[in-house]
Amino acid sequence: MHRLLLCLLLAPAWTACVRWSPPIMDTSDAGSCRSASLRWISPADADERERLASWCRGVGGAVIQPAPAAVEAPPALADITFVSWNVHVGNGDIRAFVRDLRAGRHTGNRRVDHFILMLQEVARTEGVPPFADGISGAARIPARAGDDIDIVRIGRELGLSLIYVPSMRNGRSPEDPAADRGCAILSTFPLSEPVAIELPGERQRRVAIVAKFAAVSVGVIHLDALGGAKRLWGLWTPWMREAQVRSLDALFGDELLVLGADLNTWHGRDERAVRVLSTPPRATPASPERHGLGLRVLDYLLFRAGEDRRAQYRQIPQRYGSDHRPLIGWIE
């Protein structure tokens, strides 16, 4: 109660209402979900790490999958199309979207040969451990009946390089089919130096991904929509999202940067999470998607393109079965 009153009285001091400390490199074997093929960064707080461990036990390991016939060197930056999209756990038809993207349907009939997809809420249905005591999971989001939604198989079928890091189990009972969900980066060319960053939070486990090609970093982020009961679930979650963004310092080196993000910012660009990400030398926000009465801005493409380049973007009208529309951008 005292903490809640302090938050009410000190509303401008956002971070005072969130327990946050700088993240640390994680070298411990805390569960099968932390694959040795990635570099892991986790919260330093012991209670936070204990909470995350129960979610970690409910998912399979991360996957790094090279394309069957990947190009030897990445293309020029101006020739790459960047996409951010929340696919709503297999409801978004990634295959159809990629087919239309390659054909030029969303780029003025200009064929797209090279692209990077930064996807949130992708799903995997193989390699997930059975449900057991001590496992935490999220309420199951069902996909369309009969569809093959496994992101690893989709990446292989489309001939794309893949980095997939599950955040949470898609289901929280033994009756739910074994599946996990999280973020993924898919690319027409190889990516290197992948890093997984476990975010602080109160409810679900969230993991951001960043990887590199040449002198460019690309990342995908999905922040919490709600906080815990002690923060009245929705009312005070802007503080939690700011803490999650501030834990992402590993994303912000000296390289050019492109981020695909579902920030779940209920209060739009005025939220501190967006302000922090938009402060140099981090990035510059781009296209939002608005829901309902226009009060919520959820989806963003963010660029740090350099002084001699300009980032462009657009939001396409089709949802392809998801509850979010893809954002498509490029750097000139």
User: What tokens does 129 get?
Assistant: 């451990």
Please say whether the beta carbons of 128 and 179 come within 8 A.
yes
Using CA atoms, how far residue 231 sits from 1, 141, 239, 273, in Å, is 10, 24, 9, 17
Average pLDDT over residues 253-277: 83
Phi, psi torsion values for 318, nearest 5 degrees: -80, 140
Kindly state whether residue 223 falls inside one of the protein's structural domains: yes
Percentage of the residues of the chain whose pLDDT score is greater than 90: 51
Using CA atoms, how far residue 90 sits from 11, 21, 125, 307, in Å, is 38, 34, 10, 38
CA 331 centroid distance within chain: 21
State how far the Cα of 46 lies from the Cα of 68, in Å rounded to an integer.
41
pLDDT of residue 291: 46
CA 280-42-257 angle, to 5 degrees, is 30
pLDDT of residue 160: 96
Kindly state whether residue 157 falls inside one of the protein's structural domains: yes
Kindly state whether residue 21 falls inside one of the protein's structural domains: no
Count of structural domains within the chain? 1
State how far the Cα of 265 lies from the Cα of 309, in Å rounded to an integer.
28
Percentage of the residues of the chain whose pLDDT score is greater than 70: 80
Average pLDDT over residues 114-120: 97
pLDDT score of 6 more than 70: no
State how far the Cα of 192 lies from the Cα of 269, in Å rounded to an integer.
31
pLDDT score of 62 more than 80: yes
State how far the Cα of 100 lies from the Cα of 331, in Å rounded to an integer.
20
Closest CA to 32 of 63, 50, 59: 59
pLDDT of residue 252: 73
Closest CA to 208 of 185, 225, 189: 185
Closest CA to 269 of 283, 254, 253: 283
End-to-end CA distance of the chain: 52
pLDDT score of 29 more than 80: no
pLDDT tens digits for range 290-326: 444 455 678 999 898 877 888 888 899 999 999 999 9
State how far the Cα of 145 lies from the Cα of 253, in Å rounded to an integer.
43
pLDDT of residue 157: 95
Which residues constitute the domain of residue 151? 32-331
pLDDT of residue 247: 85
For the ranges 48-52, 185-189, 284-288, the maximum mean pLDDT occurs at 185-189
Neighbouring residues of 268: CB distance < 8 A, sequence distance ≥ 6: 274, 288, 295, 296, 297
pLDDT of residue 95: 96
pLDDT of residue 297: 78
Kindly state whether residue 146 falls inside one of the protein's structural domains: yes
Region class of 237: left (phi > 0), else alpha (psi between -120 and 50), else beta: alpha
pLDDT of residue 292: 43
pLDDT score of 199 more than 60: yes
Kindly state whether residue 24 falls inside one of the protein's structural domains: no
pLDDT of residue 80: 95
Residue of higher predicted confidence among 72 and 272: 272
Average pLDDT over residues 87-108: 95
Kindly state whether residue 83 falls inside one of the protein's structural domains: yes
pLDDT of residue 229: 56
Q: pTM of this prediction?
A: 0.88
Burial class (CB in 10 A: 0-12, 13-18, 19+), 105: middle
What CATH number has the domain bearing residue 292? 3.60.10.10
pLDDT of residue 136: 93
pLDDT score of 102 more than 90: yes
Q: Is 296 helix (H, G, I), strand (E, B) or coil?
A: strand
pLDDT score of 20 more than 80: no
pLDDT of residue 15: 43
Kindly state whether residue 61 falls inside one of the protein's structural domains: yes
Kindly state whether residue 25 falls inside one of the protein's structural domains: no
Average pLDDT over residues 146-165: 93
Using CA atoms, how far residue 203 sits from 21, 142, 171, in Å, is 18, 20, 14
The mean pLDDT value of the chain amounts to 83
State how far the Cα of 33 lies from the Cα of 298, in Å rounded to an integer.
27
Average pLDDT over residues 115-141: 94
CA 81 centroid distance within chain: 18
pLDDT score of 283 more than 70: no
pLDDT score of 26 more than 70: no
